A and B are shown apart, each in its own frame.
Chain A
Amino acid sequence: MSFERKKLQKSTSTTFHVTGTALLFVSAAMFGCAIIEGTTGGSIFPLLLASLISLFFGGVGRLGTKPGLLGQADIFSAVGGAWLFVSLFGALPYLFAGTFNYGGSGLLIQFADSLFESISGYSCTGSTVFGSHNPIESHGSGILLYRQLTQWAGGMGIVVLVVTVLPSLRASGLGLMSAEAPGPQSDRLASRVVDTAREFWKIYFVLTLFIGVALFAAGMGGYDALAHALTTASTGGFSTRDSSIGFWDSSAIEMVLIFGMILGGSSFALHWRSTKEHRVTHFRDPEFRSYFGLMSISTFAITWILTSNGFEVSEALRSAAFNVVTLGTSTGFSNANGVGSNGDFASWVSGPQIILFILLVFGGCTGSTSGGVKIFRLQVGASHTLRSIRRFRRPRGVFPVFQGTKVIPDTLVQRIAGFIAVYAVLAVIGTITLTALDTDIVTALSGVVSALGNMGPALGEAGPTSSFADAYSAPSRMVLAFLMLVGRLEIFPMLLMVVAPYRSVKHRSNN
């Protein structure tokens, strides 16, 4: 056997090993939720069957292969493949439970809706096809907890989870983590990749626990507190209620969630550093300062506009702060308790809507669970622009690109410029496709930006009180689902995941 062939087989083997291990985690989550469904009087069959199928395929993937070192193309293949298969298998519980079998919807639509919900869950988007036609509350506790868990797993990253149990991946583990991590560069908390992944998961777990306890103390029931803690730390935004957080109409709960979402949307490396140094180090970071400043300015601007449009100051501040944070961190909760209520930003005047739309694009910090373009990239973009203007004035001057006091290398600047360009191209293509599929332009554009940034609600007909099943046709929802996956993996892995298999096929045909 030639060296080339051995190398190819090894990389393909690692891809399946990573995917198989990820499916085992999915199977375990389904099994746990099946037990909960059983204890609350529901049918355990759908979750159990989905768990067994995932277990079988995951087992085959893990046991039938051996992990090894990966090339750059294989890393994208492994990460993209793992996410694709996890999303596909993740849709099985909904399909078996007939979650989206309402009003005579056909099997194809049911599958499309299940896949949409699964991808929206794992990618931490939070867009949902539940709605008044199919209320969330009408489904069992097990399946709903599974739905929340998909976001929790997707928040920190399925591949990061896999890396924690696969020390044999060695240096490839870092590549896998970087390919999945949000932001242009990933932080390393320990000398070993496995330890870094475990540290991240520890912080994530503690943050979730902390939010859960705080929500319980603020007046939420135990089950709901746990369910919402899972989707707050992951900045996912799924809720166990149709009217999301608006169901409780409680300032205390909203305050806890605002705090939790801000923490979820900021870098986990900063949380780690704070725990190590036993003091808050977040405000030393220029990205966090901009992120926090942007949220504060947006909140006050929206409060001012809403107040001048007839809202009471306290109500305006509450609605503005909650919606700015939920969209700015890409969570996607809603505090609206009905169409046209104070928290329904789709019914506000257009000024605040545009500010929220900008926040949809910006997203949170790098190294967090949030989506969007990320504040770091925008800071680098702004600094790059400033440098360009300086160069026009002083053509022979040497002007580095700064982020705070840190000099950003030109290769990273170019990478960021390329990312923003691809992001813009995808947004344009997505919007054209959706409008061609009979969606109005505001709903299409905001839906595409929301999907790419893993935000959740959009504007127009896809506002916080609407269902994506009503706002978009089934083909449009599939386009959005694809964009969610692309957005979660920060574009490149999904676009490049076919390169390694293509090379493999080409190699075999050449031989």
Chain B
Amino acid sequence: MGYKKLPDWASWTSGLFLGISSGLQVVSFVSIVSGLIGLTGTGSQTPELLVAGTCLGILGTYLFSIIRPPEQLRASDIFAGFFSFAISATLCSTLIFLIAGVTNQFDTALYEASVALTTTALSTLDISRLAPEIEFFRGILQWIGGLVVLILGAAIIPVVGTRSNPSAHIERNEALSLGATRRTAVYSILVIYVPLSIILWFAYSLTGLGIFDGLLLAVSTVSTGGFLPQGNPLANGAVQWIAIAGMCISGTSFVVLWRLARNKVGELKSSLELRIYFLVLISLGLVLFLASGNYSLINLRSSFMVISSAVSTTGFPAVIQGEWLPVFTVLILLITAIGGMAGSASGGFNIRSLIILLRLSMRELVRQLHPRSVVRIRIDDKPLSESTVEHAVVLQFLFISVVVITAVSSSIAGLDLFSAINASIHSTATAGPIRSIEGDLVDPSLWTRPIRVTLIPAMILGWLTIFPVLIAAGEFTSFLKGRLKSFRRQVLKVKERQR
């Protein structure tokens, strides 16, 4: 029986179960590899990782074998798949953390799994007590989390939903510059993501970091995750410079990196988003350096470290050497909320959406004076379709809604007003670490467990750029409605027969 003969919900549920089985298989694979890595050392957690990984793998493979994939996937099926992947991967990672004895509390394990997968550097674990295999497991989870963001942001979201709209061809072509189809776009992302991770690993290793620590730091940098290996590798100046460069690259759109890789530099010169991204990085880095009053080279490096960590939403813990002004906290919060370029591994609202919103504001100002004027919003001299503008507006609305709801729930759970706003912005932007008004780094392990639990939905929503979750939820609601309707019809039929 082909896809066309199946009802709508069948393709949706197969998307859902494909996501679940992928989540099981990915975590299983990472768990087994981590277990094997443990064998190079004491391997204290290896048996647990291998057993749990194998069980999850068998379950995932079995599920995959019984799913009948539809001939054609709709946008909602893809989003349902991503959402179910996120949920199953998070729950499986939670299970691994519990089985490996990292923590014995379910909510803490769930929080840690979410923090790792969503690339939010708000971990509560004491890394000095973690076995290398668990460190590796967390690091690779981040790397996968970063890859998911890229695939969603650069290859899936810009393409779906616009096919029927002829005016949206430009953006569609922009996204598809990574490849002619969705599949080749994903392939292009992998072609950049994997070598970039290897180059960073190599670069970190050259600074004197061990191979293992270098690998962990590389996957953390390229995925904008922000986990650090044991010791304090960022104390080394060379490591910091590499981290700065790595974070800047990770916050850059993969379309830009792809064009660079293909030597199409000319097209990049006119990219407004790219110029703004680097302008923000350089100007705010200099502002921090100059306003903090310490004009040493170390402070210059620290200032750029703080800014690149915030803009790319990586969250490496960095502090400047000079005086921390309260306005710095606001600036850091602002650039964290905005994040890096669209189509990058970074979280947040993204610079492209911000440009669209600013252009939209200007257009409304013009329309106040000339109400009947037809003004098209343009970026890089290319007119944007109204659906793209609508997408940016809706993203703004949803982003603010998620921040507000998370802030309310975390403040009810006990966070003070500023910390609640701060934590909710950081969670939704999948960034860390959180700073106090005085610029000190806040330790999330000091928060109560209910507070941490309230941040998990924001992290997952922010990681999946909110839309997939809502679309999956919408699809689920209409599925339930459909089921309920058919049930009612059946009940009515039975009643009529009884009459």
Is residue B420 within 8 Å, beta carbon to beta carbon, of the partner chain? yes
Rounded to whole Å, the gap between the CB of A70 and the closest CB of chain B is: 12
Assess A350 versus B404: contact at CB under 8 Å? Given A395-B165, A396-B164: no
B393 touches A354 (CB 8 A): no
B368 touches A76 (CB 8 A): yes
**Interface positions of A from 184 to 213, Cβ below 8 Å from B:** none
For A305, list chain B residues within 8 Å (CB). Answer: 412
User: Which of A84-92, A384-392, A464-472 participates in binding chain B?
Assistant: A384-392
| Most chain B CB neighbours (cut-off 10 Å) among A389, A422, A492 | A389
User: Which of B54-62, B239-247, B353-361, B483-491 participates in binding chain A?
Assistant: B353-361
Q: How far is the CA of A149 from the CA of B365 in the complex (A)?
A: 32
Contact partner, B418, options A424, A441, A496, Cβ 8 Å: A441
A354 touches B420 (CB 8 A): yes
A441 touches B391 (CB 8 A): no
Is residue A436 within 8 Å, beta carbon to beta carbon, of the partner chain? yes
Q: How far is the CA of A257 from the CA of B406 in the complex (A)?
A: 32
Annotate A322-354 by CB proximity to B: 1 below 8 A, 0 otherwise: 000000000000000000000000000111011
A388 touches B391 (CB 8 A): yes
Return the chain A residue nearest B163 by Cβ.
A395
Assess A432 versus B334: contact at CB under 8 Å? Given A350-B417, A358-B404, A393-B75: yes
Is residue A168 within 8 Å, beta carbon to beta carbon, of the partner chain? no
Assess A428 versus B334: contact at CB under 8 Å? Given A305-B412, A354-B407, A418-B360: yes
Return the chain B residue nearest A308 by Cβ.
B412
Is residue B98 within 8 Å, beta carbon to beta carbon, of the partner chain? no
Rounded to whole Å, the gap between the CB of B363 and the closest CB of chain A is: 7
Q: How far is the CA of A464 from the CA of B113 in the complex (A)?
A: 42
User: Which of B189-197, B313-321, B324-332 participates in binding chain A?
Assistant: B324-332
A421 touches B396 (CB 8 A): yes
Is residue A499 within 8 Å, beta carbon to beta carbon, of the partner chain? yes
Is residue A133 within 8 Å, beta carbon to beta carbon, of the partner chain? no
Is residue B289 within 8 Å, beta carbon to beta carbon, of the partner chain? no
A418 touches B161 (CB 8 A): no
For A415, list chain B residues within 8 Å (CB). Answer: 364, 367
A72 touches B417 (CB 8 A): no
A389 touches B467 (CB 8 A): yes
Return the chain B residue nearest A437 by Cβ.
B327
Q: How large is the interface on B (under 10, 10 to 19, 20 to 34, 35 or more residues)?
A: 35 or more
Contact partner, A424, options B165, B396, B407, Cβ 8 Å: B396
B437 touches A441 (CB 8 A): yes
For B370, list chain A residues within 8 Å (CB). Answer: 72
| Most chain B CB neighbours (cut-off 10 Å) among A351, A396, A440, A442 | A351
Is residue A419 within 8 Å, beta carbon to beta carbon, of the partner chain? yes
Annotate A430-472 by CB proximity to B: 1 below 8 A, 0 otherwise: 0110011011111011000000000000011000000000000
For A390, list chain B residues within 8 Å (CB). Answer: 474
| Most chain B CB neighbours (cut-off 10 Å) among A72, A384, A391 | A391
Chain A binding surface, main DSSP class = helix
Q: How far is the CA of A350 from the CA of B391 in the complex (A)?
A: 33
Residues of A within 8 A of B (CB-CB), count? 52
A354 touches B390 (CB 8 A): no
Q: How far is the CA of A441 from the CA of B435 in the complex (A)?
A: 12
B471 touches A393 (CB 8 A): yes
Annotate A113-124 by CB proximity to B: 1 below 8 A, 0 otherwise: 000000000000
Q: How far is the CA of A381 from the CA of B331 in the complex (A)?
A: 27
For B390, list chain A residues within 8 Å (CB). Answer: 384, 388
For A414, list chain B residues within 8 Å (CB). Answer: 360, 363-364, 367, 389
Return the chain A residue nearest B391 by Cβ.
A388
For A357, list chain B residues within 8 Å (CB). Answer: 417
A389 touches B326 (CB 8 A): no
Is residue B160 within 8 Å, beta carbon to beta carbon, of the partner chain? yes
For B416, list chain A residues within 8 Å (CB). Answer: 350
Q: How far is the CA of A382 from the CA of B325 in the complex (A)?
A: 37
B164 touches A395 (CB 8 A): yes
Annotate B359-378 by CB proximity to A: 1 below 8 A, 0 otherwise: 01101110111110000000
B161 touches A391 (CB 8 A): yes
Q: How far is the CA of A460 from the CA of B387 in the complex (A)?
A: 40
A385 touches B369 (CB 8 A): no
Assess A459 versus B397: contact at CB under 8 Å? Given A358-B404, A389-B474, A499-B369: no
| Most chain A CB neighbours (cut-off 10 Å) among B357, B369, B471 | B369
B364 touches A354 (CB 8 A): no
For A460, list chain B residues within 8 Å (CB). Answer: 417
B474 touches A442 (CB 8 A): no
Is residue A313 within 8 Å, beta carbon to beta carbon, of the partner chain? no
Is residue A355 within 8 Å, beta carbon to beta carbon, of the partner chain? yes
Rounded to whole Å, the gap between the CB of B184 and the closest CB of chain A is: 22
Is residue A425 within 8 Å, beta carbon to beta carbon, of the partner chain? yes
Rounded to whole Å, the gap between the CB of B50 and the closest CB of chain A is: 41
B398 touches A385 (CB 8 A): yes
Is residue A171 within 8 Å, beta carbon to beta carbon, of the partner chain? no
Q: How far is the CA of A209 from the CA of B166 in the complex (A)?
A: 59
B361 touches A422 (CB 8 A): yes
Is residue A417 within 8 Å, beta carbon to beta carbon, of the partner chain? yes
**Interface positions of B from 453 to 479, Cβ below 8 Å from A:** 467, 470-471, 474-475, 478
Is residue A60 within 8 Å, beta carbon to beta carbon, of the partner chain? no
Q: How far is the CA of A248 from the CA of B397 in the complex (A)?
A: 41
Return the chain B residue nearest A493 by Cβ.
B368
Q: How far is the CA of A418 from the CA of B371 in the complex (A)?
A: 13
Q: How far is the CA of A495 from the CA of B360 in the complex (A)?
A: 15
For B368, list chain A residues within 8 Å (CB). Answer: 72, 76, 492, 496
For A381, list chain B residues within 8 Å (CB). Answer: 397
Assess A389 versus B369: contact at CB under 8 Å? Given A395-B164, A417-B360: no
Assess A353 versus B417: contact at CB under 8 Å? Given A388-B390, A392-B467: yes
Is residue B411 within 8 Å, beta carbon to beta carbon, of the partner chain? yes
Is residue B162 within 8 Å, beta carbon to beta carbon, of the partner chain? yes
Rounded to whole Å, the gap between the CB of A452 and the closest CB of chain B is: 15
Contact partner, B397, options A385, A492, A496, Cβ 8 Å: A385
B474 touches A384 (CB 8 A): no
Q: How far is the CA of A67 from the CA of B475 in the complex (A)?
A: 58
Rounded to whole Å, the gap between the CB of A158 and the closest CB of chain B is: 20
Is residue B79 within 8 Å, beta carbon to beta carbon, of the partner chain? yes
Rounded to whole Å, the gap between the CB of A506 and the closest CB of chain B is: 14
Q: How far is the CA of A121 from the CA of B421 in the complex (A)?
A: 31
Report 24 cross-chain contacts, Cβ distance below 8 Å, ordered by A residue. A76-B368, A76-B369, A350-B420, A351-B408, A353-B411, A358-B404, A358-B408, A389-B467, A389-B470, A390-B474, A392-B76, A393-B471, A393-B474, A395-B160, A395-B163, A395-B165, A422-B364, A424-B357, A428-B334, A432-B331, A441-B326, A459-B417, A492-B365, A499-B369
List 11 additional contacts besides A351-B408, A392-B75; criterion CB under 8 Å: A72-B368, A350-B414, A350-B416, A393-B74, A393-B475, A393-B478, A417-B364, A425-B357, A425-B358, A432-B330, A492-B364
> Across chains A and B, which 8 residue pairs bring their CB atoms closest together, nearest first?
A418-B364, A351-B412, A350-B411, A388-B394, A417-B393, A435-B327, A350-B417, A436-B327
